[in-house]
Amino acid sequence: MSRRLSLTLDGRNIAVHLHAGDLPADVRFSGAIAVDSETLGLSLIRDRLCLVQMSDGGGDIHLVQLDRRTYDAPNLKAVLGDGGTQKIFHFGRFDLAVLMRDLGIVCAPVFCTKIASKLVRTYTDRHGLKDVVKELLGKDLSKEQQSSDWGAAHLSDAQLVYAASDVLHLHAVRDRLSEMLAREGRTGLAEACFAFLPTRAALDLQGWEAVDIFAHA
């Protein structure tokens, strides 16, 4: 079962597709995929994965509302686990951990816009997606639905718009941050951080979430 919303977001005509259980087998993405996830909360021990949203930067955004009894989503797993396609996240550390935990996949290669922001926007401590999009793209994101019930059987149109907005700008943000990384000579450092993210997610899942294993103490 699928549901479709036709929206105009930031002057762009966007089709938001909500799929129940799995991504349809005929859905194709071109190039890098912007990815986000929604969970019941931010605890890796307690809160389950509810929704995954994806965009290749074109006019279609696909949302998959997962069956939390089985997480049987082979098409979605194949797309996210494809080692030949870059996945763009904002704070990928959490998303990679929940995808690893609930879908059993290692999501790589990745580009994390939050890590990139922290490496080059050293003039600020505001690295949330809303702040990054506002400064780099001049666009306002609404976070009104961030704390809503993503485990509900029926997601509201407002929730779907929020979920779609979280991946709508990630390609453009990645491109701007990539320019800044190159300008500051930090591209290689960023790429090393991105490559480590699946390991960082695995450490989080095994209990080292708040421990700096590289620290002397």
pLDDT > 90 fraction of the chain, expressed in percent and rounded: 88
Topology of the domain covering 2-208: Nucleotidyltransferase; domain 5 (3.30.420)
Backbone phi, psi, residue 139, to 5°: -120, 145
Tell me the three-class secondary structure of 183-211, residue by residue: HCCCHHHHHHHHHHHHHHHHHHHHHHCCC
* 119-166 confidence digits (pLDDT tens): 999 999 999 999 999 999 999 887 665 678 999 999 999 999 999 999
Token reading at 59:
């006019």
Query: What's the mean per-residue pLDDT of the chain?
Result: 95
How do 33-39 and 49-55 pair as beta strands?
A: antiparallel
Res 210 pLDDT > 80: yes
Res 52 pLDDT > 60: yes
Q: Is 79 helix (H, G, I), strand (E, B) or coil?
A: helix
pLDDT value of position 146: 64
Q: Is 174 helix (H, G, I), strand (E, B) or coil?
A: helix
Instruction: Kindly state the average pLDDT of the residues 56-84.
Output: 97
Instruction: Kindly state the average pLDDT of the residues 9-19.
Output: 89
pLDDT > 70 fraction of the chain, expressed in percent and rounded: 98
Instruction: Kindly state the average pLDDT of the residues 17-34.
Output: 97
Instruction: Kindly state the average pLDDT of the residues 196-213.
Output: 95
